[in-house]
Amino acid sequence: MSAPPLELHGLHKTFGALAVTRDVNLSLAHGARHALIGPNGAGKSTLINLITGVLSPTAGRVSIAGQDVTKLSSDRRVKLGLARTFQINSLFMRLTVAENIGLALAARHGLDGRIGRPLARREALVAEAAEGLRTLGLLDLAGRRINELAYGQRRQVEIALALALKPKVLLLDEPVAGVPSTEGKRLFQLLERLPEDVAVLVIEHDMDLVFRFAKRITVLVEGGILVEGSVSDIRSDPHVRDVYLGKRGHD
């Protein structure tokens, strides 16, 4: 079996005297459905920033598919197969969903150096965009402009855009945050349709989603890993209940 899609080895990050990430070791399996949870301020966003290359660690390593990327830029990491959900403001609001996906695909093919003749290229992009949307159950949105979509639908399109990069690893940073519960259900369904060969790491406060979606869970507390295990391990762990699940009032 090839190297895990994503590995963190002894990651450590300090801001001045404050250690925000403490000796984090994590390995995402092929096709992982892995959730990272923890109370506010546990260091989840910092860890994502270390993985994507927005921040450099004070010590430790990040590897993508066995390649050490610790010193590489965010862009290089994306090219090696690390995608995160795009922010909504990166969508072209006046273009349709299909056009947005088409542009992301065009950028990827351009990067791959696989630019063919214009007409053939356009047809191939349209077909690939449609296929990607169909896989996610979003084909009915293809012709809609982003500025006509509800917030939850825009978040679905962000995920489709990230997948257009054909990543090995997909990072989802609070995919249902701010999404009304009626739309959240649709987002759940989309997450269940993510391609099996993509390893997914989700940071999420919504425990219903975490327990439904994830196969493994890592609990972060004060920058370090408290425990990692299966959903049932985490549900029954008394320490997790104390530090996290007991605090359901968490925003």
Ligand X SMILES: Nc1ncnc2c1ncn2[C@@H]1O[C@H](COP(=O)(O)OP(=O)(O)OP(=O)(O)O)[C@@H](O)[C@H]1O
Interface residues with ligand X (CB under 6 A) are 15, 18, 20, 38, 40-46
- The least distance separating ligand X from the CB of residue 171, rounded to whole angstroms, comes to 13
Alpha-carbon distance of 144 to 134, in angstroms, equals: 15
Sign of the CA dihedral running 119, 122, 125, 131: negative
Nearer to ligand X, 38 or 81 (CB): 38
Residue 22 CB, nearest approach to ligand X (Å): 11
Q: Residue 45 or 74: which CB sits closer to ligand X?
A: 45
Nearest distance in Å: CB 62, ligand X: 16
C-alpha 14/C-alpha 5 separation (Å) is: 26
Instruction: Label residue 192 exposed, middle or buried (CB < 10 Å: 0-12, 13-18, 19+).
Output: exposed
Report d(CA 145, CA 49) in Å as an integer. Answer: 31
Measured from the CB atom, the residue of 239 and 250 that comes closer to ligand X is 250
Looking at the Cβ atoms of 7 and 222, the one nearer to ligand X is 222
Q: Residue 80: which residues within 8 A CB-CB, separation 6 or more?
A: 64, 65, 67, 69, 72, 168
Largest CA distance in the chain: 61
| Nearest approach, Cβ of residue 38 and ligand X (Å) | 6
Nearer to ligand X, 48 or 141 (CB): 48
Q: How far is the CB of 20 from ligand X (least distance, A)?
A: 4
Q: Position of tokens 């917030």?
A: 151
What are 51's two structure tokens? Answer: 């993985």
